């Protein structure tokens, strides 16, 4: 058994003929060390390849890093937001031994006041770092301003709020994701028929994000010099089934040559439902592995889903903050996650979140 005996601070001390206290001073440059010894010690550290034992350090310091996350609540299991949440939790169990605590606060998806309430609660806790899904632009900006006053670092997940001093944005490249959606739709369409890009919004959505998506989608076709009239856009101000059905009916009656739909949120299953009830053979590309989408994908009524590694987003967010706390390591300002292309045949591999 080759016990790769770890080099300890004691070893360094013995080797350099000083006490551990002096080593400690050098490591943390607290001064009060004669230049000669300092240099000697630094050499010894090099030679012995000494690395402080993070375990012992954490134990001795007893430091706790409180990370607060502010994300939408998942009203039911299998809801989209339960996945980033599971990523946060997974990362917490990973890092909890190093004193990391992740407290998750939830706001209601269409209720800014709940956002503000929770934000204030978080502020009163004086956490060491924040993970924020800034779905409400204005409220998020206000919150972020307060964080900056308190010098609390924060990362965005899921969607970005450019122009802020966030430590990092961890999420999809939206424009590229729409470009991919376009390509996928095109690949199943035999190069003919019209296309619909369908937004469903409730008025609070990030308009910049939608613009990016539109631009990515259109870019694919303009790159090919396609006829721009092929692409239709429809915005429905609701995610309510009846409302969506009503609007879709109206639209499809006027536009009978639609062969493919790109649904720009996670509600592709609603459109799929509509197609099924009206026996329309129209292809669908959507976002996110929410339960309804998955079952429509498996039954073949949705063709592609684009998944933006939601679990990884949660994990990376915690990881980025942890590394900042412990190693003073600044993460990349933008961390784009993989855009997974999901079809019926590979969906199962993406579904197990232990």
CB 183 within 8 A of CB 159: no
61 binds DNA (CB under 7 A): yes
Residue 109 exposure: Cα atoms within 13 Å on the Cβ side: 11
Helices 268-277 and 291-299 pack at an angle, to 10 degrees, of: 40
Segment 75-104, which members bind its own copies (CB under 8 A)?
Answer: 94, 97-98, 101
Q: Which does 173 bind (CB under 5 to 8 A by kind): DNA, its own copies, none?
A: its own copies
Q: Which does 208 bind (CB under 5 to 8 A by kind): DNA, its own copies, none?
A: none
The piece of 55-63, 89-97, 217-225, 260-268 that touches DNA (CB under 7 A) is 55-63
Place of tokens 């059905």: 245
Residue 326, interface with DNA (CB under 7 A)?
no
CA distance 227 to 255: 16
Q: Could you tell me the smallest distance in angstroms from the CB atom of residue 240 to its own copies?
A: 32
| Under rule CB under 7 A, residue 236 binds DNA | no
Q: Name, in order, each residue with C-beta under 8 angstroms of 63's C-beta and a sequence gap of 6 or more.
A: 99
Q: Is 33 in the site for DNA (CB under 7 A)?
A: yes
CA distance 348 to 287: 16
Render the burial of 104-123: b for 16+ CB within 10 Å, e for the rest: bbbbebeeeebbeebbeebb
Please pick, from the candidates 86, 108, 116, 176, the single residue that binds its own copies as defined by CB under 8 A.
Answer: 176
Kindly tell me which of 75 and 338 has the beta carbon lying closer to its own copies. 338
Residue number with CB closer to DNA (19 or 257): 19
In the chain the beta strands, taken as DSSP E runs, fall at 65-72, 100-107, 129-132, 154-157, 168-171, 194-200, 231-236, 258-263, 283-287, 304-307, 334-336, 340-342
Among 10, 39, 125, 141, binds its own copies (CB under 8 A): 125
User: Is the C-alpha dihedral spanning 299, 302, 304, 305 positive or negative?
Assistant: negative
Candidates 57, 150, 202, 278; binder of DNA (CB under 7 A) is 57
**Least distance in angstroms from the C-beta of 36 to DNA:** 7
Give the whole-angstrom CA distance, residue 210 versus residue 217.
11
DSSP letter for each residue of 189-218: TTT-SEEEEEEE--S-S-HHHHHHHHHHHH
Q: Is 207 in the site for DNA (CB under 7 A)?
A: no
Position among 1, 4, 60, 151 found at the interface with DNA (CB under 7 A): 60
Residue 345 binds: one of its own copies, DNA, none (C-beta under 5 to 8 A by kind):
its own copies
CA angle 315–321–324, rounded 5-degree value: 135
Q: Shortest distance, CB of residue 325 to DNA, whole angstroms?
A: 13
Cβ nearer to its own copies, comparing 243 with 326:
326
Residue ranges in contact with DNA by CB under 7 A: 6, 8-10, 17-22, 24-25, 27-28, 31-34, 37, 50-53, 56-57, 59-62
Residues that bind its own copies (CB under 8 A): 1-4, 53-56, 58-59, 64, 66, 94, 97-98, 101, 125-126, 173, 176, 179-180, 183, 187-188, 190, 336-341, 343, 345-346, 349-350
């Amino acid at each position: 058994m080759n016990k790769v005996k770890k080099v300890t601070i004691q070893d360094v001390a013995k080797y350099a003929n000083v006490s551990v206290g002096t080593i400690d001073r050098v490591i943390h440059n607290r001064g009060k060390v004669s230049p000669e010894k300092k240099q000697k010690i630094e050499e010894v550290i090099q030679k012995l390849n000494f690395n402080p034992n993070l375990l012992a350090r954490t134990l001795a310091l007893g430091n706790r890093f409180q990370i607060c996350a502010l994300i939408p609540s998942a009203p039911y299991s299998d809801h989209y937001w339960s996945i980033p949440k599971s990523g946060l939790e997974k990362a917490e169990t990973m890092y909890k031994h190093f004193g990391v605590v992740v407290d998750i606060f939830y706001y209601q998806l269409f209720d800014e006041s709940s956002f503000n309430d929770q934000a204030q609660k978080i502020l009163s806790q004086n956490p060491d770092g924040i993970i924020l899904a800034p779905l409400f632009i204005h409220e998020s900006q206000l919150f972020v301003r307060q964080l900056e006053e308190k010098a609390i670092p924060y990362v965005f997940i899921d969607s970005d709020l450019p122009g802020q001093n966030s430590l990092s944005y961890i999420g999809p490249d939206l424009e590229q994701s729409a470009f991919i959606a376009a390509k996928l739709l095109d690949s199943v369409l035999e190069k003919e028929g019209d296309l619909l890009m369908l937004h469903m919004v409730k008025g609070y959505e990030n308009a910049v994000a939608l613009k990016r998506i539109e631009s990515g989608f259109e870019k694919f076709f303009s790159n090919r010099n396609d006829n721009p009239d092929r692409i239709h856009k429809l915005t429905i101000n609701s995610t309510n089934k009846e409302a969506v059905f009503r609007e879709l009916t109206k639209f499809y009656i006027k536009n009978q040559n639609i062969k493919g739909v790109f649904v720009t949120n996670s509600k592709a299953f609603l459109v799929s439902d509509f197609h099924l009830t009206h026996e329309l053979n129209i292809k669908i590309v959507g976002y996110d592995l929410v339960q309804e989408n998955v079952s429509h994908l498996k039954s073949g009524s949705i063709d592609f889903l684009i998944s933006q590694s939601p679990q990884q987003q949660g994990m990376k967010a915690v990881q980025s903050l942890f590394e900042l706390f412990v190693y003073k390591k600044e993460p990349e300002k933008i961390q784009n996650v993989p855009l997974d292309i999901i079809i019926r045949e590979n969906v199962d591999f993406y579904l197990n979140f232990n």
